[in-house]
Structures are given as C-alpha cells and as structure tokens.
Amino acid sequence: MIVDGRVLREDFVPSEVVHRHDEVNLLSEALEPLLSDRRPDPSFLFGPTGVGKTCIARYTLAQLHEQDPDVRVAYVNCWQEYTRFRVLYSLLEATGRTTDIHRSTAKDELFDRLAEGDTRPLVAILDEVDQLEETAALYDLHRLPHVSLVLIANREEELFASFDDRVRSRLHAGTRVQFDRYGTAELRSILRERATQGLEPDAVTTDQLQTIADAASGDARVGIGILRSAARRAERNGCEYVTEATIAAAIPDARTAIRRKTVEGLPDHQRVLYEIITDAGEIEPGELYEAYERRVAEPKTARTLRNYLTKMVHYDLIESVGEHRGRRYRPVADGDEGEESELPTEK
C-alpha cells in the first residue's frame, strides 16, 4: 500500500505546497535581495506547532537556491543545537568547514572561521530559535555580512523577551510571517497530496481523510502521523486500503508517537522537568523548582525554567492550569492535545 514512505514523514518537503501561498510569497519577497547580492533583514516565522513553518522555510529556500546556486542554506534545529558552540558548528558543518574542530575548540575560533574564507551568501534557518540558551549566537551571526537569518518560533513576544538588549535591538527590524492553524478542509487537501504521492491509488477515501483532518485539530504533524500509522496498520493486516478501524486505532497511536519523539528530543534539563511533572501528576511551581534543583548539579535560572515550561506547553507535553499563586502544571493526557494553554508570566 505504501509506495513512498518519505512522503508520509512530517519533515518531508514537497515539490509544491498548498494553502501557504501568501506565506511563501511574503518570505520570498523578504529574501529577494539575496538574488542581487544584497543582505536581507532577518525573517521571522511565528505560529503554533504543526502549521508548516519549517516546511515553508525549507521549501522557499530550496526554490531560492535553484534560482541562485551560490546562495547556500543551513538548517539548525535549536531544540538540539541550543548553545553558541553548537549553532556555529552546525553552520560550519553545513558549509563543509569543520576540519580540525573539536569540543575543546574555542567558540571565537568557530566564529572566525565562519567570518573568513568562503563568504558566499549563507542563509541560516534557526528552527525553535526560542530554545537557544546562548542568544549571543544570534549576535555573532548578525555581525557576519554574508549570513542572513530565518528565525522560527511559536510567539514573537516570548522570543524577544528571551533576547538581551544587544540582540533585541539588532533583530527588531525584519519581516514577520504569521502562520495560523490549518482549517480542516486545508488539512484534508494536504493529506490528499501526501496520500496521492505516498500510497497506492484509492488506498484512502476523501471521507477518511476528512476524519483524519478532524482528529488532527489543525496540526499537520498529527494529521500526517495518523495517515502514516493507519497505512502501516492496514498494510500489516494485509489490507489493500485503509479502513475505519485502522484510522480509529491510528489516532491515539500517532499522538503517542509524536509525544514520545518530542520527549526523546528534550534537552536534559527539560526532560528532568517533564519527568517531575509526570511523576507528580500535578505540581505547583515552587515544588517543581525545588524538585528540579535537587535532581541537577547546575540548575538553570527560574526565568530559563519558565521558558522551558512554556515550550513544553506549546508542544502539548504539559498544560498549565490556574494563574499566579494557584497555577499548577500537569502532563497532557491522551485526548487533550490540540488546545494550547495560556501560560502567564510568573508573578
């Protein structure tokens, strides 16, 4: 039944995109100076998870690279590469310039290597940029005249709140591209494109794709995950097409798989917080911070922990209930995903 499993992956970048033409056009216009050897202002892509920010960034830059092969593109996921060293190293790696660099190499040496030698245009896509623990990396990159920035995050106010004044002043200008949740009709047509390319003809019906789109609540990651899980289940069962039963089973399977993958990718300190919340079932901030400080050798600041918790809310790992002194954190239960809780600033 599955003829091309790549198409059923959340990180697959299609040759054509649907329902994000305005966003593609806006980002393309922002990056157009690269085609005339000029440096564009930073571009910011904001929106909840699963709305196509990463896909559109990679698609748009791939199109630009086709127009001008001298424009190089480096993709960095700051969820994993969250330090200044790792960001600089990732850009050097993308440009094939990591020879003789080791963990002990000074960060300034990495910066100098980026600044020297090959100065053809380089666009750095920094995904999950609000996960950066050392925003000095952004200051470094802004100082390099041949490096342009495309920064992806959930919310603008939270991102800029994490910057120091030096970074904030330099990145204030730029193009903002806002992404909203997909409507169910939009998500259904996205799933139809994936099914057409990745599955045998007539393997899934339009009504079944509508069921999947409804269950995904505007999150393309979830919708694609359900389609993939349903197709795999049907294939294992020897079926030639997806059934309602395989879809019903795939809905919780896909959500569980996405959550497990997200948890596995958490940096150490965030994983400690998640484990404490999961073990407790529900916990208030003071107890959470105390338990966290007992478990780690070098605790992060309270502000950093609040940023971590905000990110885990965005990713449907935990939810925040109540406000101020009455606030508590608890893990998201199966079936509760899809609605982002508001996470006010601690008072």
| Fold that domain 7-178 belongs to in CATH | Rossmann fold (3.40.50)
Q: What's the one-letter identity of residue 297?
A: A
Q: State which fold the 184-255 domain adopts.
A: Helicase, Ruva Protein; domain 3 (1.10.8)
d(CA 137, CA 142) in angstroms, rounded, equals: 9
User: What 3-state DSSP class applies to 104?
Assistant: coil
Residue 147's Cβ-count burial label (10 Å; 0-12, 13-18, 19+) is buried
The segment with the largest mean pLDDT, out of 104-108, 203-207, 335-339, 340-344, is 203-207
Instruction: Using the predicted structure, report yes or no on whether residue 347 has a pLDDT greater than 50.
Output: no
The residue assigned the tokens 């994983």 is 271
pLDDT at 334: 62
Residue 237: C-alpha distances to residues 1, 246, 319 (Å): 11, 9, 36
Residue 184 has pLDDT above 80, yes or no: yes
**Taking 80 as the threshold, does the pLDDT of residue 43 lie above it?**
yes
Question: Model confidence over 204-251: pLDDT tens digits?
Answer: 999 999 999 999 999 999 999 999 999 999 999 999 999 999 999 999
Mean pLDDT (whole number) for 44-67: 95
| Rounded-to-10 torsion of CA 284, 130, 335, 232 | -140
- pLDDT of 340 reads 43
Quote the percentage of the chain above a pLDDT of 90.
Answer: 62
The pTM is what? 0.86
**DSSP code for 199:** B
> What SS3 class is residue 214?
helix
Place of tokens 């484990």: 275
Q: Is 252 exposed, middle or buried (0-12, 13-18, 19+ CB in 10 A)?
A: middle
Q: Model confidence over 296-306: pLDDT tens digits?
A: 999 988 888 98
Residue 108 has pLDDT above 50, yes or no: yes
339, pLDDT greater than 80: no
Q: Where are the domains of the chain?
A: 7-178, 184-255, 266-331
The topology (CATH level 3) of 266-331 is: Arc Repressor Mutant, subunit A (1.10.10)
Please, which residues bridge with residue 178 across strands? 46
Q: For residue 226, give Cα distances in angstroms to 40, 47, 201.
A: 38, 22, 18
Model confidence at 345: pLDDT above 50: no
